[in-house]
Amino acid sequence: MIYSRYIRREPLISMEASIVSEPAAAKAYRVLENMIVTLELAPASFVTEGSLIERLALGRTPVREAIQRLAWEGLLDVRPRAGIAIAPLHPGDWLRVLDARRGVEVVLARSAARFVTREAADLFHEAALAMQKAVISGNVLAFIQADKALDEALALAADNPFAARLAAPLQTHSRRFWFRYKADTGLAESAEHHVALIRSILDGDEEGAAKDAKKLMALLRGHAEVAATR
């Protein structure tokens, strides 16, 4: 049990339960983002605003706000009279995403180790437990959700909204590339690197957290280099 030292034994509020109470716009964003990351909305395909509104059943305004946010993040391209294009996936772009992401991840990791609160620690514990369960069951979709939850815990713990806002879309793009090119073989290895980062953060080890963030980025970059040669 690679997470046993860092998982609380008392019950936690589940990630699913927290999603239920989300505002409609936030829920629309989360659902659409997940559909893009997991390729349910295929790269380079086209959809319409109306079809997304019908699919999500959350109303026009929340879905429109989510579309605008995802367009700003580069995951959608809104084309008047042509529809909404889902961002394509070019393997070489994964390297560019990771080059941009590496520095800010180190900043977030250091800051999280310095400022982590009990609330953030609880989120790390819950995300780690979800990741562990996903590895054991081989559930890639659950692993993706746990990875997203871990990134949100990191953003909260770091107490640096500027760095968190910069990192979030890069994390989403990277998660999408990972799902496309490494999800079939990368669960356990990725989990080991994530738990090392969690360990350093919860121990308040700023230098260790920075090193673990760099190691995680190096692991992902290795995957991206392989994908770029395909």
For residue 20, what pLDDT is reported? 55
The pLDDT of residue 17 is above 50: no
Least confident of 33-47, 148-162, 183-197: 183-197
* Locus of tokens 């995403």: 97
pLDDT of residue 183: 87
Identify the pLDDT of residue 81: 81
Query: What value does the mean pLDDT take over residues 28-35?
Result: 96
What are the residues whose beta carbons fall under 8 Å from the beta carbon of 61, sequence distance 6 or more? 24, 25
CA geometry: angle at 25 spanning 86 and 131, to 5°? 75
Q: Would you call 155 helix, strand, or coil by DSSP?
A: helix
Q: Would you place residue 7 in the very low, low, confident or very high pLDDT band (cuts 50, 70, 90)?
A: very low
Decide if pLDDT at 62 tops 80. yes
Summarize the confidence of residues 69-81 as an average pLDDT.
94
**Greater model confidence, 138 or 2:** 138
Q: pLDDT higher for 22 or 179?
A: 179
DSSP assignment of 75-143 equals SEEEETTTEEEEPP--HHHHHHHHHHHHHHHHHHHHHHHHH--HHHHHHHHHHHHHHHHHHHHT-HHHH
Cβ 216 vs Cβ 105: under 8 Å = yes
pLDDT at 70 over 70: yes
In the predicted structure, residue 136 carries a pLDDT above the cut 90: yes
- Assign 82 a pLDDT band (cuts: 50, 70, 90): confident
For residue range 189-199, list pLDDT tens digits in order.
999 999 999 99
pLDDT at 9 over 60: no
Of the two residues 202 and 19, the one the predictor is more confident about is 202
d(CA 221, CA 96): 10
What's the pLDDT score for residue 3? 40
Q: What is the mean pLDDT of residues 29-44?
A: 97
| pTM exceeding 0.75 | yes
